[in-house]
Protein backbone atom coordinates (compact mmCIF):
# COMPACT_ATOMS: atom_id res chain seq x y z
CA UNK A 1 0.00 0.00 0.00
CA UNK A 2 1.53 3.26 -1.12
CA UNK A 3 0.73 6.04 1.34
CA UNK A 4 3.00 8.68 -0.17
CA UNK A 5 0.18 10.29 -2.17
CA UNK A 6 -1.93 10.95 0.97
CA UNK A 7 -1.92 14.31 2.73
CA UNK A 8 -1.00 14.60 6.39
CA UNK A 9 -4.67 15.00 7.39
CA UNK A 10 -5.59 11.92 5.35
CA UNK A 11 -2.80 9.94 7.04
CA UNK A 12 -4.08 10.99 10.49
CA UNK A 13 -7.63 10.00 9.51
CA UNK A 14 -6.38 6.64 8.23
CA UNK A 15 -4.40 6.09 11.44
CA UNK A 16 -7.51 6.85 13.52
CA UNK A 17 -9.61 4.41 11.51
CA UNK A 18 -6.96 1.68 11.80
CA UNK A 19 -6.60 2.30 15.57
CA UNK A 20 -10.36 2.11 15.96
CA UNK A 21 -10.47 -1.19 14.07
CA UNK A 22 -7.65 -2.63 16.21
CA UNK A 23 -9.13 -1.58 19.54
CA UNK A 24 -12.66 -2.67 18.70
CA UNK A 25 -11.52 -6.12 17.51
CA UNK A 26 -12.64 -8.79 19.96
CA UNK A 27 -10.61 -12.02 19.87
CA UNK A 28 -13.20 -13.94 21.91
CA UNK A 29 -11.23 -14.20 25.15
CA UNK A 30 -11.79 -12.44 28.45
CA UNK A 31 -9.09 -10.17 29.88
CA UNK A 32 -9.62 -8.88 33.42
CA UNK A 33 -6.88 -6.34 34.09
CA UNK A 34 -6.50 -5.15 37.67
CA UNK A 35 -4.45 -1.95 37.63
CA UNK A 36 -2.67 -0.49 40.67
CA UNK A 37 -1.18 2.96 40.21
CA UNK A 38 -0.21 5.56 42.82
CA UNK A 39 -2.61 4.21 45.46
CA UNK A 40 -5.54 3.83 43.09
CA UNK A 41 -6.97 0.48 42.00
CA UNK A 42 -9.34 -0.20 39.12
CA UNK A 43 -10.27 -2.90 36.64
CA UNK A 44 -9.96 -2.55 32.89
CA UNK A 45 -11.40 -4.96 30.36
CA UNK A 46 -9.65 -5.16 27.01
CA UNK A 47 -10.74 -7.02 23.88
CA UNK A 48 -7.56 -8.45 22.39
CA UNK A 49 -3.88 -9.15 23.01
CA UNK A 50 -2.71 -6.00 21.22
CA UNK A 51 -4.76 -3.82 23.55
CA UNK A 52 -3.59 -5.96 26.50
CA UNK A 53 0.07 -5.51 25.60
CA UNK A 54 -0.40 -1.74 25.29
CA UNK A 55 -1.94 -1.66 28.79
CA UNK A 56 0.91 -3.78 30.19
CA UNK A 57 3.47 -1.44 28.61
CA UNK A 58 1.69 1.58 30.12
CA UNK A 59 1.85 0.05 33.62
CA UNK A 60 5.25 -1.62 33.46
CA UNK A 61 6.24 -1.00 37.08
CA UNK A 62 7.12 2.67 36.68
CA UNK A 63 3.64 4.20 36.82
CA UNK A 64 1.83 1.17 38.16
CA UNK A 65 1.30 -2.53 37.78
CA UNK A 66 -1.38 -4.53 36.01
CA UNK A 67 -2.37 -8.05 37.01
CA UNK A 68 -4.02 -9.94 34.17
CA UNK A 69 -6.55 -12.77 34.49
CA UNK A 70 -7.50 -14.23 31.12
CA UNK A 71 -9.34 -17.12 29.49
CA UNK A 72 -6.81 -16.97 26.64
CA UNK A 73 -4.78 -20.21 26.89
CA UNK A 74 -1.69 -18.73 25.24
CA UNK A 75 -0.28 -15.38 26.25
CA UNK A 76 3.31 -16.29 25.40
CA UNK A 77 3.79 -13.04 23.48
CA UNK A 78 2.66 -10.80 26.37
CA UNK A 79 5.31 -9.08 28.46
CA UNK A 80 4.02 -7.94 31.84
CA UNK A 81 5.57 -6.75 35.09
CA UNK A 82 2.57 -7.92 37.16
CA UNK A 83 0.79 -11.25 37.39
CA UNK A 84 -0.35 -13.07 34.30
CA UNK A 85 -2.84 -15.81 35.21
CA UNK A 86 -5.11 -18.16 33.31
CA UNK A 87 -8.74 -18.54 34.38
CA UNK A 88 -11.16 -21.22 33.23
CA UNK A 89 -14.12 -18.81 33.24
CA UNK A 90 -15.27 -15.46 34.60
CA UNK A 91 -17.53 -17.33 37.04
CA UNK A 92 -14.56 -19.30 38.42
CA UNK A 93 -12.58 -16.06 38.73
CA UNK A 94 -15.39 -14.28 40.58
CA UNK A 95 -15.95 -17.22 42.97
CA UNK A 96 -12.21 -17.48 43.65
CA UNK A 97 -11.95 -13.73 44.16
CA UNK A 98 -14.87 -13.73 46.62
CA UNK A 99 -13.24 -16.57 48.55
CA UNK A 100 -9.89 -14.78 48.69
CA UNK A 101 -11.57 -11.57 49.85
CA UNK A 102 -13.26 -13.42 52.73
CA UNK A 103 -9.98 -15.10 53.72
CA UNK A 104 -8.26 -11.71 53.79
CA UNK A 105 -11.10 -9.81 55.45
CA UNK A 106 -11.76 -12.10 58.43
CA UNK A 107 -8.33 -11.68 60.13
CA UNK A 108 -8.45 -7.92 59.52
CA UNK A 109 -11.87 -7.65 61.15
CA UNK A 110 -10.75 -9.83 64.09
CA UNK A 111 -7.70 -7.65 64.66
CA UNK A 112 -9.71 -4.44 64.45
CA UNK A 113 -12.39 -5.71 66.87
CA UNK A 114 -9.76 -6.99 69.32
CA UNK A 115 -7.94 -3.67 69.19
CA UNK A 116 -11.23 -1.86 69.87
CA UNK A 117 -12.16 -4.19 72.75
CA UNK A 118 -8.72 -3.66 74.30
CA UNK A 119 -8.65 0.14 73.84
CA UNK A 120 -8.88 0.84 77.57
CA UNK A 121 -5.74 -1.21 78.25
CA UNK A 122 -3.38 0.75 76.02
CA UNK A 123 -1.99 4.28 76.26
CA UNK A 124 -4.30 7.00 74.99
CA UNK A 125 -2.12 7.81 71.94
CA UNK A 126 -2.32 4.16 70.78
CA UNK A 127 -6.10 3.82 71.03
CA UNK A 128 -8.22 3.56 67.90
CA UNK A 129 -10.09 6.76 67.11
CA UNK A 130 -13.20 5.23 65.54
CA UNK A 131 -15.25 2.16 66.35
CA UNK A 132 -15.03 -0.67 63.82
CA UNK A 133 -17.58 -0.72 61.02
CA UNK A 134 -18.07 -4.47 61.54
CA UNK A 135 -19.47 -6.17 64.64
CA UNK A 136 -18.75 -9.55 66.21
CA UNK A 137 -22.00 -10.69 64.59
CA UNK A 138 -20.71 -9.63 61.18
CA UNK A 139 -17.49 -11.50 61.87
CA UNK A 140 -19.41 -14.65 62.80
CA UNK A 141 -21.43 -14.36 59.57
CA UNK A 142 -18.27 -14.01 57.48
CA UNK A 143 -16.66 -16.99 59.22
CA UNK A 144 -19.79 -19.07 58.63
CA UNK A 145 -19.87 -17.99 54.99
CA UNK A 146 -16.21 -18.96 54.60
CA UNK A 147 -16.83 -22.33 56.27
CA UNK A 148 -19.55 -23.27 53.78
CA UNK A 149 -18.09 -21.49 50.74
CA UNK A 150 -18.67 -23.32 47.44
CA UNK A 151 -15.17 -24.48 46.55
CA UNK A 152 -16.10 -25.89 43.14
CA UNK A 153 -14.23 -23.09 41.35
CA UNK A 154 -10.92 -23.53 39.55
CA UNK A 155 -8.49 -20.90 40.92
CA UNK A 156 -6.39 -18.81 38.54
CA UNK A 157 -3.07 -20.36 37.70
CA UNK A 158 0.22 -19.09 36.41
CA UNK A 159 1.07 -19.61 32.79
CA UNK A 160 3.95 -22.10 32.66
CA UNK A 161 6.30 -20.73 30.02
CA UNK A 162 3.33 -18.50 29.15
CA UNK A 163 1.23 -21.41 27.88
CA UNK A 164 -1.51 -23.12 29.88
CA UNK A 165 -1.14 -26.46 28.11
CA UNK A 166 2.20 -26.99 29.87
CA UNK A 167 0.84 -26.10 33.28
CA UNK A 168 1.97 -28.17 36.26
CA UNK A 169 -1.07 -28.94 38.45
CA UNK A 170 1.04 -29.36 41.62
CA UNK A 171 0.40 -25.64 42.32
Residue 164 lies in a domain: no
- Report the predicted TM-score, pTM, of the whole model to 2 decimal places: 0.80
Q: Are residues 132 and 100 in the same domain?
A: yes
Residue 142 lies in a domain: yes
Q: Are residues 81 and 107 in the same domain?
A: no
| SS3 track for 76-87 | CCCCCCCCEEEC
Residue 16 lies in a domain: no
Residue 125 lies in a domain: yes
Please tell me whether residue 27 adopts helix, strand or coil conformation: coil
Mean pLDDT per block of 10 residues along the chain (171 residues) reads 88 92 93 97 96 96 96 94 96 97 97 95 92 96 96 92 43 38
End-to-end CA gap in the chain: 49
By C-alpha distance, which of 168, 167, 41, 32 is closest to 97?
32
Burial 4-18 (b: 16+ CB within 10 A, else e): eeeeeeeeeeeeeee
What total number of domains does the chain contain?
A: 2
Q: Are residues 34 and 72 in the same domain?
A: yes
Domain residue limits at 36: 24-86
Residue 106: predicted pLDDT: 97
Q: Are residues 78 and 97 in the same domain?
A: no
Residue 170 lies in a domain: no
Residue 3: predicted pLDDT: 86
For residue 84, the number of C-alpha atoms closer than 13 Å in the C-beta half-sphere is: 22
Amino acid sequence: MDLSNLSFDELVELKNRVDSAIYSYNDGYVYICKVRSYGRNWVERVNNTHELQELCYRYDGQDGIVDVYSTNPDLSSIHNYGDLKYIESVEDYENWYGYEQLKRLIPEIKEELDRWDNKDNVPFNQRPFFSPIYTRGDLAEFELKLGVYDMSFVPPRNYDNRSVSGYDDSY
